Chains A and B, each alone.
Chain A
Amino acid sequence: MTHGAIAASAGVMRPPVDREAGAGVYNEKLGMWVFLGSEVMFFTALIGSYIILRVAHPEMWAPPGKVLNVPITAVNTFLLICSSVTMVKAFASAQDGLQRPLCLWLLATCIIGATFVGVQAFEYHHLIEKGFVPSEGLYGSTFYTMTGFHGFHVSVGVICLSFVTWKAFRGKYTSTDHRGVEVVGLYWHFVDLVWIILFTIVYLI
């Protein structure tokens, strides 16, 4: 039996005698990994600029905890890690074809992800009230740009996740074909991974 991805492109992809294997994974997964490659370069531009600017002007950064609220963000970080584990549990249950857990894990991931964005919005609100704005200096500029675009990625992730969840509730994913879950999961874990880096270099260093 051919995998759905292959079935999609009809007879064309029926494995022939001497076909050279592709990446060894189905299109959607390969595509997501390729796309993540470009995401890496996007965050390289932002995080790289941050590192470079900070090396150029170390004096413009306040010591950790002075300006930024580390406790709240620590909670937020914990949330994001939780969402990662729920996501991966969802994937596991999809693999085992367990419909109910799949839906619930996905739902949990959505909710936690949304909460993360909410907390970040609250944090922004707080900081801006304290007068820590993007135009304040390099510190503000880099902080808001990096965390902002990470937040943007999380929001996009939540949107995709809710779509996948909706499909899951309609029982679209089987133990043999759950590409949607795996692919959105890859994206979600990547966003989490970026946050792991950001949390360390923006809040703790």
Chain B
Amino acid sequence: MTEMATRGTIAEQHTHRDDRPFIRRYIFSTDHKIIGIQFLLMSLLFLLLGGMLAMLMRWQLGFPGRPLPIIGSLFPEAMVQNGIVLPEFYDSLVTMHGTFMVFFAIMPLLVGVFGNYLIPLKIGAPDMAFPRINMASFWLAVPAGVLMLAGFFVEGGHAAAGWTSYAPLSANSEYSGVSTGQIIWCISLIVLGLSSILGSFNYITTIINMRAPGMIWFRMPLSIWSLFITAILVLLAMPVLSGAIIMLLFDQTIGTHFFLPPKGGQPLLWQHLFWFFGHPEVYILILPAMGMASDIIANGSRKPIFGYVSMVLALLGIGVLGWGVWGHHMFMSGMNPTLGTGFMISTLLISVPSAIKVFNWMGTMWRGNIQFHVPMLHAVSFVAMFVIGGLSGVFMAASPVDIYIHDTYFIVAHLHYVLFGGSLFAIFASITYWYPKMFGRLMSPRWGKVHFWLTFVFYNLVFFPMHQLGLHGHMRRLYDPTQYEFLKPLQPLNTFISISAFLLFASQLIFAVNFIASWFTGAKAGPNPWHDNGLEWTLPSPPPHGNFAVTPTVYRGPYEYSSPLVEEDWLPQDRRLDRSPAPAPGGHR
């Protein structure tokens, strides 16, 4: 039977209207699609906030000692005095920019949004394994975020020990002058950690147990593979952070001594625990981006992903090796140098799977028929930028070089090339790609392209020169670089970066407007605007409550583009071809 016929029958079978009241439907919904969209709206707000904090920092760095224009008067005296950002507030900005971006923007955008939205749809399940726990996961993330926001308004200001909260600075308010703020930081992250754990064990159970008939492991889209491995990393890494933060919290509140030296506490213990979580976290922030970019690149190239299996193995490799490299964040920490050598080798080795992925993406584009729709533009620039981020990582991995560039702007450049150039471009790609599925309308391609090009240009103008800053020894987290003679010549570069940063921020507003406007005025998408093979594209946009009226049966892998079996250049996973025999396990190749 033809695809159209199937679609028709399914459309008719979508008769079970859900008559849930508004609040159960959109607020306390257990539908993974609604929860995903809730996460999307929440984390985009925090993304915007994180960006604003960065702008304040960039003003101080670009124009130290100059009063903030216009908004300067809006801040309380404790933060900004006659227009000039105070050092205490600057440290809070550094800390909170990192915290919000990592924990409340990028992580929920990747894991919360697309984990929720895509997993059941792409594996052909009606919903998550535990819908109510899924809802709880979102409704724990919200209070965590609100609490974290509240920290700005408490006595003594918000946490100011960096997003890594190195003890003892973070463990004793005498050192930082921050008491309540740091406590709030801890509690908020404990709650958020619980939320992430609830989410991830839901994902894992769903993927293991609820795949549709024929959706064998090696027919899963790479986005699902990456989200699966990410969920495992979250599940096992987050509790370590929670444990560490609980000890930190006790150090601050009930006077324990875990990380406070006077009575035998070990500051390095905090760093080890934090980075034992922190490095898997780094991969939590990039793996889903890789997975979704793979889906989009295959679609944009109209070609099967090059080396699907090695892509999966690379993901697994990263997921395993990622546990043995945390020490490379601590080369300068006074850690046991012998340990350092080991971590250097493991760190260099983990660059291999990442390289494999890059080469496979390029292999996918090779001899493709590349369609430059907005998601593809973002996905391609994800690859281009991730290459830079990956290569600049090699400098730090070589520990002697790291001696010089550690804690300088070279690191800042590196991490932003991975987190912004990598994750965020992939996030833009994924949002524009699945937006029609989520809201039934396409985002405006014209404004999408404008946003993409402005972002791409200004992004590089902001972060590429930071490599040079770092190479000249410019330390991170400096409130006023001009204090140092050897940094004074770099000031014009800082100014340039700041101006580019403001323009970069401004160009994001285009995305915001496009996102909101297209919700109402965007062109109707139809079930499959990108001619994609995934199961979710066999459903109407947006898909009905409960997803599939009849369980799809999967006959092939998700990347059968330009297959010779059919005349059009895509071949949905669930379309039965009379020619094709009953699906054999491992039948991807």
By a beta-carbon cutoff of 8 Å, the part of chain A in contact with chain B is 9-14, 16-20, 22-23, 26-27, 30-31, 34-35, 37-39, 41-46, 49, 52-53, 56-57, 60, 134-135, 137-138, 140-142, 144-145, 149
Contact = CB atoms under 8 A, between A and B. Distances in A.
Contact of B211 (A22, A27, A135, A144): A22
A99 to B, nearest CB: 27
Contact of A140 (B242, B256, B273, B585): B256
Describe A's contact surface by its main secondary structure: helix
A49 B256 contact: no
B582 to A, nearest CB: 7
17 contacts: A9-B126, A11-B551, A16-B214, A30-B205, A30-B209, A34-B235, A35-B197, A41-B237, A42-B239, A42-B243, A45-B241, A49-B258, A57-B264, A135-B254, A135-B257, A140-B256, A141-B250
Interface string B249-267: 0100011111000011110
A141 B258 contact: yes
B243 A46 contact: yes
B240 interface: yes
B264 A38 contact: no
Given A27-B209, A56-B266, A10 B246 contact: no
B57 interface: no
A22 B250 CA distance: 41
B551 A149 contact: no
B256 A12 contact: no
Interface of B: 124-127, 129-130, 197, 200-202, 204-205, 208-217, 235-244, 246-247, 250, 254-258, 263-266, 269, 273, 548, 550-551, 553, 582-585
8 A-B pairs with the lowest CB-CB distances in the bound complex, closest first: A45-B243, A16-B213, A135-B255, A141-B256, A42-B239, A22-B209, A41-B239, A20-B216
Contacts of A23: 208-209
A13 B210 contact: yes
B240 A45 contact: yes
Contacts, number: 150
Given A18-B213, A20-B216, A30-B208, A137 B548 contact: no
Contacts of A57: 264
A43 B585 CA distance: 39
A121 to B, nearest CB: 17
Contacts of B263: 60, 137-138
Contacts of A22: 208-211
Contacts of A13: 210
B195 to A, nearest CB: 12
A17 B551 CA distance: 13
Contact of B265 (A10, A26, A138): A138
A61 B242 CA distance: 25
B205 A31 contact: yes
Contact of B124 (A12, A31, A46, A149): A12
A18 B210 CA distance: 14
Nearest to B277: A45
Contacts of A52: 266, 269
A37 B126 contact: no
A134 B255 contact: yes
B356 to A, nearest CB: 25
A12 B265 contact: no
Contacts of A134: 250, 254-256
Nearest to B587: A18
Given A37-B235, A138-B265, A49 B130 contact: no
Given A16-B213, A38-B239, A56 B264 contact: yes
Given A12-B548, A42-B240, A135-B257, A27 B130 contact: yes
A35 B216 contact: no
Contacts of B124: 12
Contacts of A42: 239-240, 242-243
A143 B205 CA distance: 34
A41 B212 CA distance: 31
Contacts of A43: 243
Contact of A12 (B126, B241, B243, B582): B126
Given A9-B125, A18-B585, 14 more contacts: A11-B550, A12-B124, A13-B210, A19-B211, A22-B208, A22-B211, A27-B129, A27-B210, A37-B201, A49-B258, A49-B269, A141-B247, A141-B256, A149-B246
B211 A14 contact: no
A31 B553 contact: no
Given A27-B209, A56-B264, A57-B264, A12 B125 contact: yes
Contact of A18 (B239, B265, B584): B584
A30 B201 CA distance: 9
A41 B585 CA distance: 34
B201 A31 contact: yes
Contacts of A138: 257-258, 263-265
A137 B201 contact: no
Contacts of B236: 37-38, 41
Contact of A31 (B129, B216, B266, B550): B129
A129 to B, nearest CB: 17
A52 B200 CA distance: 29
B551 A12 contact: yes
Among A11, A26, A46, A57, max chain B CB count under 10 A is at: A46
A18 B583 contact: yes
Contact of A137 (B215, B217, B264): B264
Contact of B197 (A12, A30, A38): A38
B246 A145 contact: yes
Contacts of A20: 211, 215-217, 585
A43 B244 CA distance: 10
B214 A19 contact: yes
B238 A38 contact: yes
Contacts of B130: 27, 31
Contact of B240 (A37, A44, A56, A144): A44
A35 B203 CA distance: 11
A136 B209 CA distance: 49
Nearest to A53: B266
A145 B201 contact: no
A141 B217 CA distance: 46
Contacts of B125: 9, 12
Contacts of B244: 45, 49
Among A10, A22, A39, max chain B CB count under 10 A is at: A22
A17 B583 CA distance: 10
A109 to B, nearest CB: 24
A142 B236 CA distance: 22
B201 A39 contact: no
Contacts of B584: 18
Given A41-B236, A41-B237, A42-B239, A19 B213 contact: yes
Contacts of B273: 45, 49
B72 to A, nearest CB: 43
Given A20-B217, A31-B129, A41 B256 contact: no
